[in-house]
Copies of this chain bind each other. A is one copy, B any other.
Amino acid sequence: MMQHLFVTGGAGFIGSNVVDHLLDLGFQVTAYDNFSTGKKAFVSAAQKRANFRLVQGDLLDEKHLATAMQGCDFVFHLAANADVRFGTEHPKKDLEQNTIATFNVLESMRSNGIRRIAFSSTGSVYGEAVQFPTPENSAFPIQTSLYAASKLAGEGLITAYCEGFDFQCYIFRFVSILGERYTHGHVFDFYRQLLAHPDELHVLGNGKQRKSYLHIQDCLAAMMLAIDKSKEKVNLFNLGTDEYVEVIDSIACITALLKLNPRVTFAGGERGWIGDNPFIFLDCSKIRQLGWEPRLSIREGVVRTVQWLQDNHWALEHT
């Protein structure tokens, strides 16, 4: 039974959406965030509710974290350095904010007697996958980015705690998530560029990178369903749509929506950056077998994301 949930990264894009959803369901929620990328505005509605508590803190501060977690019975560990692209510019950030932070979350849970955790991992852990769509048990991958390596390190720690300390975990390997409060990634970058220069758009890679996106509300529904229905010790799910688009397709969608016709230039190469996976397309039949399906197509998700950005220009300015 969940009653009081602890959400790391609770003021971030995914975290704050999880917080609002859990509050709507009547749960007690404590959000923990260092506001490195989280935003006060994302939890301003939550803060008006009696069943919500916000703790400002860093996951590297073990004592503060353990104290904040007191009384909780389930942890959504969603805090992360999600800055995938710039991993090679500051390798220690992924180690600290993803790997060590996850270790601290697990140790705080252990010291508080909490044994259930949901974790936001990534489809990037499949590296350059050899099978498409890629199922959860595809071939043992080789990591190509510091971000994915740190997420896989987090997965390994969590499942080892399941075996060693009788934890139960829900690990979700996401495609790119977008939607309301989305503040990084392709669509964000393109929108911001077009706002500054409506007549030109510069694209990393050759534009042919194939990506899959999932809307935050569909992502939320999938996570809640998995936690409700799946009762293994280790519950591991890919989360994505059964479709993918090329980066140039996203661009066409965004420019049509904005009624723009920019000159598009490409940096070239099949990868957008070092360690970028030119094709991410996950086999999501495992979560679908529980009865979930996405309500929004990739195109509809992109449209809603751009609309949210149009209504929330302030969110473009503070990143």
Residues of B within 8 A of A138 (CB): 139-140
Which residue of chain B is the closest to A150 with respect to CB atoms? B156
A146–B159 touching, CB < 8 Å: no
Contacting B at CB under 8 A, from A96-134, are 99-100, 103, 106-107, 126-127
- Are B136 and A107 closer than 8 Å at their CB atoms? no
Q: Assess whether A30 is interfacial by the CB under 8 Å rule.
A: no
Contact status A140-B139, CB under 8 Å: yes
Distance, CA A92 to CA B161, complexed state (A) = 12
**B159 close to A143 (CB less than 8 A):** yes
Q: Which of B88, B150, B153, B155 contacts A165 (CB 8 A)?
A: B88
Report if A149-B139 is in contact (Cβ < 8 Å); known contacts: A87-B164, A160-B275, A164-B274.
no
Contacts of A275 in B (CB 8 A): 160, 163-164
The distance in angstroms between the C-alpha atoms of A88 and B137, with both chains bound, is 26
Say whether chain A's binding surface is mostly helix, strand, loop, or mixed.
helix
A117 to chain B, nearest CB (A): 15
Which chain B positions have C-beta within 8 A of A88?
164-165
Interface residues of A in 137-185 (CB under 8 A from B): 137-146, 148-150, 152-153, 155-157, 159-161, 163-165
* Given the contacts A99-B99, A100-B95, A107-B91, A143 and B155 also touching, CB distance less than 8 Å: yes
A5 on the B face (CB < 8 A)? no
A236 neighbours in B (Cβ, 8 Å): 142
Given known pairs A95-B100, A100-B100, A103-B91, the reply for A149 and B141 (CB within 8 Å) is no
A234 within 8 A of B: yes
Known pairs A99-B99, A143-B155, A145-B163 / 20 extra A-B pairs, C-beta < 8 Å? A87-B160, A88-B164, A91-B106, A91-B107, A92-B107, A95-B99, A126-B140, A127-B159, A139-B139, A140-B141, A143-B159, A143-B160, A144-B160, A146-B160, A146-B161, A148-B156, A149-B159, A160-B275, A163-B274, A164-B274
Listed by A's residue number, 6 A-B pairs whose Cβ atoms lie within 8 Å are: A91-B107, A145-B160, A145-B163, A153-B157, A160-B275, A163-B274
Tell me the A residues contacting B by CB distance below 8 Å.
Answer: 87-88, 91-92, 95, 99-100, 103, 106-107, 126-127, 136-146, 148-150, 152-153, 155-157, 159-161, 163-165, 234, 236, 274-275
